[in-house]
Structure 1
Amino acid sequence: MKIEIWSDVMCPFCYIGKNNFEQALEKLPFKNEVEIEWKSFQLDPTLDASKPQSTIEYFKEKKGFPAEQASQMIAQVAQMGKGAGIDFNFEKALVINTFAAHKLLHLAKKHGKSSEMEEALFKAHFTDGKNVGDVEELISLAEKTGIDNDEARRALTSDEFNYEINQDIQEAKNNGISSVPFFVLNGKYAVSGAQPAEVFADALQQTYKETASPFKDLSQNGGASCDTDGCSI
């Protein structure tokens, strides 16, 4: 069973959704039969990659929210994060263009480490206050995730994964995906937003059940047929 997840490193609800999804999956008996593919999405591609902003500054300047309203929203999200086991440090988080971070995610996907890298980037951005648009910071994360420094530098300073990132973004548009996180289960069902673990568990179980038995037999009785052991009437 395949799960595709559209996400952006700058999205706190993507981090919460990831943790709730993983919590649900971990308790299911078929967890090892699930393939997870992380897809790129940019909430604000207009951000300058060389000018990080604080979260409060971003909400004030880009969204037009008063400082008090922005602070209240941030506090609410931080409280949600605690329920998912996340320590959000919004006072340290640097809002930045995430295109370079998505390059690192695609490089990690190449090495079968995309989920580990997704977690590392979320933690770096939301907990540690790292600049996830900075090449040197991203190379350090690559090294910690077991990816060669030189390979990471080449990927981050070239156009190697630009096509893949843009394809993910275009695929989201083609499928009407306008917000993240967005989970597509086996190309058939979708779960949008940072849902509770119980919602993810129910959706995964339903999808797996249909995957294990993809056809519903509408005939009243078994008709004449042949199998590997012969034919019967």
Structure 2
Amino acid sequence: MKIEIWSDVMCPFCYIGKNNFEQALEQLPFKDEVEVEWKSFQLDPTLDPLKPQNTIEYFKEKKGFPAEQAAQMIGQVAQMGKGAGIDFDFEKALIINTFNAHKLLHLAKKYGKANEMEEALFKAHFTDGKNVGDIEELISLAGHLGIDKDEAKQALVSDEFDYEINQDIQEAKNNGISSVPFFVLNGKYAVSGAQPAEVFADALQQTYKETVSPFKDLSQGGASCDTDNCSI
């Protein structure tokens, strides 16, 4: 069963949704039959890749929120994060254009390490206060996951994965996806937002039952052949 997840590195609800989704999946007997594919999405592609902002500044200047309102919103998100096992540090988090981070995600996908990279990027951004638009920081993350640093640098300074990133973003538009996280379950169902683990578990079980598990035989049996013999 394939799960496609559209996400952006600077989306706190994507991090919460990831943790809740993984908590749900871990409890299911068919967890090893599930393939997860991370898809790129940019919440604000207009951000300058060279000028990071702190979170309060961003909400004030870009969204027009008063500092007090922005701080209240951030506090609420931080509380939600604790429930998902995440220690958000919004005082250190740097808002930046995430296109370079998505390049690294697609490079990691090449080596089957997209999930580990997504987690590393979230942690770098929301917990460690790293600049996930900075080439050197991203190269370091790649190295920690065993990805060759020279290859990571080449991917980050070139347009090697630009097509894949833009394809993910265009696919989201084509499917009417305008907010993240957005989970597509085996091309059949969708779950949007940072839902509780119980919601993910129910959705995964329903999808598995309807699209993966053996067919329910509506007949009373009849003449047939299998690989060994035929019977009437």
Normalised TM-score (structure 1): 0.95
> Which residue of the partner structure matches residue 93 of structure 2?
93
> Which residue of the partner structure matches residue 207 of structure 1?
207
SS state at 1:85 partner: coil
Q: Gaps (5+ residues) in structure 2?
A: none
Alignment of 1:75-224 (within 5 A): 75-213=75-213, 215-219=215-219, 221-224=220-223
What CA deviation, in whole Å up to 9, does each residue of 1:71-123 have, x standing for no partner? 00000000000000000000100000000000000000001100000000000
1:213–1:28 distance in 2 versus 1, CA, 3 Å: closer
Letter in 1 for 2:3: I
> Which residue of the partner structure matches residue 43 of structure 2?
43
Letter in 2 for 1:110: K
1:229–1:194 distance in 2 versus 1, CA, 3 Å: same
What is the RMSD of the two structures over their aligned residues, measured on CA atoms? 1.3
What CA deviation, in whole Å up to 9, does each residue of 1:55-75 have, x standing for no partner? 001000110001110000000
Normalised TM-score (structure 2): 0.96
SS state at 1:38 partner: strand
Deviation at 1:216, TM superposition (A): 4.9
Deviation at 1:129, TM superposition (A): 0.4
Whole-angstrom CA distance in 2 between matches of 1:90 and 1:154: 31
Deviation at 1:213, TM superposition (A): 3.3
Whole-angstrom CA distance in 1 between matches of 2:214 and 2:203: 16
Whole-angstrom CA distance in 2 between matches of 1:216 and 1:29: 19
SS state at 1:32 partner: helix
Deviation at 1:227, TM superposition (A): 4.0
Deviation at 1:207, TM superposition (A): 1.1
Whole-angstrom CA distance in 2 between matches of 1:231 and 1:32: 34
SS state at 1:184 partner: strand
Whole-angstrom CA distance in 2 between matches of 1:107 and 1:42: 17
Whole-angstrom CA distance in 1 between matches of 2:129 and 2:98: 14
SS state at 1:153 partner: helix
- Tell me how many residue pairs correspond in the alignment: 232
